[in-house]
Amino acid sequence: MEDVSFKTAVGSTLQYFKRGTGPIMIVSPPAWGLSSKYLQETLTPLEETFTLVYLEFRANGKSTRPDPSEMSCWHLADDVEYLRQELELGKIPHLLGHSGGGTIALWYAIRYPDKVDRLVLLNHHLDGFNDGKSMKEAIVEKSRNPKMHDAIKAWTTSWEDLSDEGFAQVIRSFLPVYFYDPDASTQSTELSNIQSVSLWNYQLLHGTDRKVNYQEPELGNVTAKTLMIFCQADPVCTPTQGIATHKGIPGSKLVIYEQCGHFPWMEKKEETFKEIVDFCS
């Protein structure tokens, strides 16, 4: 695993990890404090086909914390551009983003349409999209499973005044909600044992201090060949967001898995990796 830190054109520092063989695939994780470690742990099958470059966005890992006014998914797309320049790529061959990392990857494809060839979005959040109804329906469905009750209780707990360690504890508690099978939540050691998550990051990207930007009106700017994978049992990024994105990006492909939650490559491993490799071939 190659661990690199570099200076950007504006003087900030960004960190990335590089591993695998084959064409470059930049991996865009959520920037709200999880870092890319859970993706490094679980996306390893893709390293047989691609050279994966796991980016640590600003305020994550060893990357520089910015001014709060520059901590939105729209702004973080610039970090992908800095990495493209660092890797001396004329165009990013493959850009993969998960969840909030998919939001950033999508902003990159909107803002830099000629700089990315293929875009893979796994259960991404569509910035500015109101998905409250679908999210509520998903939680109601999960509440029918007694194994989910404690996790749902943690899900609805306020964490406004928690420490980073306390916030991580809440995330560990409600992690099963993200899965169709709550027992599958132990598949990622990084997620199930996470000890500290930056509440500062979360509040600026998804919480009370968030600056709302709207992607839906700008989806027509995307020229990259786009694959989206969504899952029916995902209460955070429901298929409703994928359907809206699919409508806005001409020629895009949308796949929706049944009996699967927020991490399709963990609960539908073979199907997900095959879908990605076939799309990027």
Specify the pLDDT at position 159: 76
> What is the arrangement of strands in the sheet containing 253-257, beginning at the earlier edge strand?
2-7, 13-20, 51-56, 24-28, 92-98, 116-122, 225-231, 253-257
- Beta strand pairing call for 2-7 and 13-20: antiparallel
In 3D space, the residue among 138, 145, 140, 144 whose CA is nearest the CA of residue 238 turns out to be: 138
Report pLDDT for 202.
93
Report how far residue 236's alpha carbon sits from residue 138's, in angstroms, rounded to the nearest whole number.
9
How far is residue 38's CA from residue 122's CA, in Å, rounded to a whole number?
14
pLDDT tens by residue, 197-206: 999 999 999 8
Q: Which of 209, 33, 219 is nearest to 126 (CA)?
A: 219
Number of H helices, E strands in the chain: 11, 8
Model pLDDT, residue 157 = 73
> In terms of Cα–Cα distance, which of 82, 84, 40, 94 is closest to 58?
82
Q: Which fold has domain 2-131+211-280?
A: Rossmann fold (3.40.50)
More confident residue, 159 or 101: 101
- CA pair distance 168, 271, nearest whole angstrom: 30
pLDDT (mean) for 3-7: 98
Q: Which of 79, 86, 130 is nearest to 108 (CA)?
A: 79
Contacts of 87 (CB under 8 A, 6+ apart): 24, 53
Average pLDDT over the chain reads 95
The Cα diameter of the chain in Å comes to 52
CA angle 98, 101, 105 (to 5 degrees): 105
Domain ranges of the chain: 2-131+211-280
For residue range 199-254, list pLDDT tens digits in order. Answer: 999 999 988 888 889 999 999 999 999 999 999 999 999 999 999 999 999 999 99
Does pLDDT of 94 surpass 90?
Answer: yes
Q: Above 90 in pLDDT, residue 160?
A: no
Q: Which of 30-34, 128-132, 159-163 has the lowest mean pLDDT?
A: 159-163
| 8 Å CB contact between 70 and 49 | no
Q: What is the pLDDT of residue 212?
A: 86
The pairing of beta strand 116-122 with beta strand 225-231: parallel
| pLDDT band at 183; cut points 50, 70, 90 | very high
Q: Give dist(CA 204, CA 65) in Å, integer.
A: 12
Looking at the predicted structure, is the pLDDT value of residue 36 above 80? Answer: yes
Instruction: Name, in order, each residue with C-beta under 8 angstroms of 242's C-beta and a sequence gap of 6 or more.
Output: 121, 124, 228, 229, 230, 254, 256
H or E element, residue 203: helix 199-205
Q: What is the pLDDT of residues 165-179, one digit of tens each?
A: 999 999 999 999 999
Section 109-137 average pLDDT: 95
Per cent of the chain over pLDDT 70 is 100
Average pLDDT, stretch 17-29? Answer: 98
